[in-house]
Amino acid sequence: MTWSQIKIPRQLRRTETQSDPLKKICAFIAAAFLVQNASWAQTNNTPDFDTIYQQRKMPSWFNEAKFGVFIVWGVYSVPGWAPKGQYAEWYGHNILDAGSPAQKYHERVWGKNFTYDQFVPLLTGEGFNADEWTSLIQKAGAKYVVTAANYHDGFAMYPTKYSISKFGDHWNAMDRGPHRDVLGELQTAGNAKGLKMGIYYSLYEWWNPIYQSGDLEKYARAWLAPKFKEVVTRYQPPVMFLDGEWEHSYTNWHSDELANWLYTESPVKDEVVVNDRWGWVRGKYGDYLSSEYGGGDYPPTHPWQEDRGIGNSYGYNRNEDAWDYNSRQTLVRLLSTVSANGGNLLLDIGPAADGRIPPIMQERLLQIGDWLGKNGAAIYSSSASPFWPRKFEWGVITAAGDTVFLHLFDQSATSLDVQGFSAEVASVKYLATGEDLKFSGRKHHLHIQLTTAKPDADDTVIAVKIRGELQADKRPHQYESGKILIPAWSLAINGTKAKMRFDGFEKIAHITDWTDPAETASCKFVANKSGRYQVSVTYCSDKNCAGSTATINLNDQKIDFVSDDTGGWSGRNYRVKNCGTISISQAGEQRFSIVPVVNEWRNMAIKQILLTPEN
């Protein structure tokens, strides 16, 4: 839930003319600072993150759970508004951006002098029922929950002595607003149902006076650390989703010391899993890596989690319409795709200010639960596709034990062929109904005859039980449509500088840092048909590297590809460029490579190559 380029605007920072509403607790802060300084002076031998995670054994429950629900509810739920496609929970921040849509909306609806803290009494929560919320989540088939305990506005959804803001003290849900320990009620109700009850926690707080003063050392030691330890010790969350870390390094936050405490001394040290948002270490240090609205295309090389809303916001957004919410089909297929890539899905709901979950969100959760009730064996405790990174046009694959699960997205298919499937097949059946399917197998090929009517309109799961070991061909294979997709994940990089990069927030999945023209990328793929193919490349580049030229080699044929300025290096900058035609003279294995042209190469980020038959 972050915008990494956003800095706190001037209006959020205290000025010399502001009165200090917190004088009565200044002594408390100073004392806490002294105590924490003394405490950390004794732990100055904290191991670095490399050592912490080398010694870390990942608790198994997280990879087995696969599906969780994220609850984002707080003061921001009262106005509950953002332009479509933006995050409504950033409302308090965005109304201070001069001339922004949020500021215009706020002044029109609430008035120019209506301040963020005036929303707090309107967070009534009269419809909040922890038992009902967790019952719904249980029916959805989720195994864990993450509740926004401390969002960027610093308003704690639980009682805490660390409860100040520029608006005054008592900045928490027990003392103001609903006057309830929201987090505690949810933890109690969820734990009783066997759910793993975790928390979301923002490292920075927009309106914290210490943070606003610029004294980050004091903020980290006298505020962040004791408040973090307080909530962990009291509520004992088995999963933590950290955020709000992007303005500073972990060395400024002293979050390596928090991690060491969490993993060696805290009451959840043997069970807790934490993401990679400790401060400028995303994708590097964490029990699981975070992908935010990333589409589920992460590699299974490290535990990871895709998180997103049912719509386009985490917090409730009254500006969203029914068609802004993802359908059952989209969500079920997303869960399957994430699982096929070895990840977990954390799906968000944003209750309204009165504590009621919007009906459309309830419906989507129940629809997922209905599907999981019949097909859960293909998700829970499953592993990534044994064919990864190979992609299939008809759907995705998961596996568990002696069973390979084929998730069929194309319900019009009358048969299903999986090339490169080498195993003795014991049985093939629809997972939801147990109906046996006719199949035949020859060397490296599984053919399944499908029925006209299928168990599910969106994701029909076919359970293929095998004897012995599966030999899965991971090379790209030609699709039934005749297209051949070569994702960057399938390319072997011959060099040390260029590497694959994924960023679920920036929507990046490409080869990056390809600055050395001596480095190449290559793979072998399988074509079923000879003929001529149009070659297109999905890539991105900036103006400094535009004009980089590479030779695309297919067997003994060559065509050149010259990059353009696409505007930058993030997923939003991807462009598709056709670079000519090439022939495949004979079906079977093909040799493919991309070779930079010396003196005509600076850098290029390649996501995928697509070969499309001309006829």
Q: Which of 387, 380, 418, 421 is nearest to 401 (CA)?
A: 380
Q: Whole-angstrom Cα distance, residue 254 to residue 279? A: 9
Q: Which of 273, 336, 262 is nearest to 303 (CA)?
A: 273
The alpha carbon torsion through 133, 65, 488, 565 (nearest 10 deg) reads: 20
Q: Whole-angstrom Cα distance, residue 520 to residue 492? A: 8
CB 331 within 8 A of CB 364: yes
Task: Give the pLDDT of residue 502.
Answer: 86
**pTM recorded for the entire structure:** 0.93
Q: Which residue has tokens 């992460």?
A: 298
Architecture of domain 47-378: Alpha-Beta Barrel (3.20)
- Give ranges for CATH 3.20.20.80 in the chain: 47-378
pLDDT block averages, 10 residues each, the chain of length 615? 40 39 50 48 75 94 98 98 98 98 98 98 98 98 98 98 96 98 98 98 98 98 98 98 98 98 98 98 95 91 96 98 97 98 98 98 98 98 98 98 98 96 97 98 91 97 97 97 97 96 86 96 97 97 97 96 96 95 97 97 97 93
- Give ranges for CATH 2.60.120.260 in the chain: 484-613
Residues with Cβ within 8 Å of residue 113, at least 6 apart in sequence: none
- As a whole number of angstroms, the longest Cα–Cα distance in the chain is 82
Architecture of domain 395-472: Sandwich (2.60)
Q: Which residue has tokens 């859960």?
A: 376
CATH class of the domain whose range is 484-613: mainly beta
Q: Whole-angstrom Cα distance, residue 406 to residue 415? A: 12
Calculate ∠ Cα 520-522-527, nearest 5°: 155
C-alpha radius of gyration, the chain, whole number: 26
Task: Give the pLDDT of residue 12.
Answer: 41
Task: Give the pLDDT of residue 473.
Answer: 98
